[in-house]
Amino acid sequence: MFDRLDDLLTRFEEIYAELGDAGVSQDPARLRRLMKEQNELQPVVEAYREYKKSKETVSECLDMLEEEKDEELRSMLKEELALARTRIGELEHQLKILLLPKDPNDEKNVIVEIRAGAGGDEAALFAAEIYRMYVKYAEGRHWKPELLSVSENGLGGFKEATFMLSGQGAYSRLKFESGVHRVQRVPETESGGRIHTSTVTVAIMPEAEEIDFHLDLNDCRFDVFRASGNGGQCVNTTDSAVRLTHIPTGIVVSCQDEKSQLKNKDKALKVLRSRLYDMELARRHDEEAKERRSQVGTGDRSEKIRTYNFPQGRVTDHRIHLTLHRLEAVLGGDLDEIIDSLTAADQAEKLAGL
């Protein structure tokens, strides 16, 4: 591990020297590449430099303890030695995590699909709440939410909704959210006061660029139709809505939120490309994990991952056995404790695998 860290430190110093070269500023592509690499290496280099400094502190304290006779100074040296050794242990663990293989999709934007499952209108109402939960979380992190398509049920609920969240590290934060989200509560549509269980499925997909996944447009069929919805200029009056069918897989994507047919077509292509890329990632994951399933789940949409229990005011993530008794805050977008716990569990499993 330390040979690799020495190599990374050397590379970081090389990049620093290259960025000082006047010729680099004349080459924007090279400048961006070097800045990106520097930003990726910086957390590792800073932790490693602190580790080396703590090791030096330990060595210096041990040398001084051999010569020092004054008990008060010896006591201070022993305290400094203990603190440095504790810090070394913390930094070793931190460095192991920083050196874990990075998911190449972590910095990508995400496309989120939410679908009402079992529970009829109540499931659709909860799907709309889950949508708002992710939008509030995104806004708290200064990400940009963009609704791509939505199908409403007439009661304010969503039969399904597809939207994009654009921001640094969006996929790294949300990639463990795929699966079945279950709600237990007395529905607004229920007069008898009985607790019902309904479900919503969530799919988190990294936004796929052409460089990630080549989509052959010859495999696609485009249909246009008249948009439906709440009215407004061009809605219901022009054939601006687009239905895109991927013939080899049968995947159908519809977009109608823009007034422009071209913009709707662009959104539909973006969603389709990301769906196909996600399918390819799932296939690779299954090949690599036939003998082992991750503690935090496979990302399968059929896997029940979380329960939102309204009578008890609790949220439980079943993969890591985490229960929080602050349901209202979680639905208000306060997801960091859950996401951080899932990330830590994933890192712990990867470290154990090493």
Q: What is the pLDDT of residues 91-119, one digit of tens each?
A: 998 898 888 888 888 888 999 999 999 88
3-state SS, residue 107? coil
Residue 264 confidence (pLDDT): 83
Give the angle subtended at the CA of 226 by the CAs of 224 and 229, to the nearest 5°.
130
For the chain, domain boundaries: 2-98, 110-353
How many other CB atoms sit within 10 Å of the CB of residue 296?
A: 21
Reference 245, options 217, 225, 264, 226; nearest CA is: 217
- Fold topology of 110-353: Alpha-Beta Plaits (3.30.70)
pLDDT surpassing 90 at residue 37: no
230 to 150, 227, 265, 323: CA distances (angstroms): 12, 10, 21, 40
- As beta bridge partners, residue 112 has 163, 204
Q: How are beta strands 179-185 and 304-309 bridged, if at all?
A: parallel
Phi, psi torsion values for 150, nearest 5 degrees: -150, 145
Is the CB of residue 216 less than 8 Å from the CB of residue 283?
no
Determine the average pLDDT of the residues in 19-27: 83
Q: Where are the beta strands (DSSP E) in the chain?
A: 110-116, 144-152, 158-166, 179-185, 196-206, 220-225, 241-246, 251-255, 304-309, 314-317, 322-324
Residue 21 confidence (pLDDT): 84
**Per-residue confidence band for 220, with pLDDT thresholds at 50, 70 and 90:** confident
Residue 118 confidence (pLDDT): 87
pLDDT surpassing 60 at residue 295: no
Lowest mean pLDDT among 33-37, 224-228, 262-266: 224-228
Pick the CATH number of 2-98 from 1.20.120, 1.10.1660, 2.60.40, 1.20.58: 1.20.58
Determine the average pLDDT of the residues in 324-337: 96
pLDDT surpassing 60 at residue 293: no
* Average of per-residue pLDDT values in the chain: 85
What's the CA gap between 230 and 227, in Å, rounded?
Answer: 10
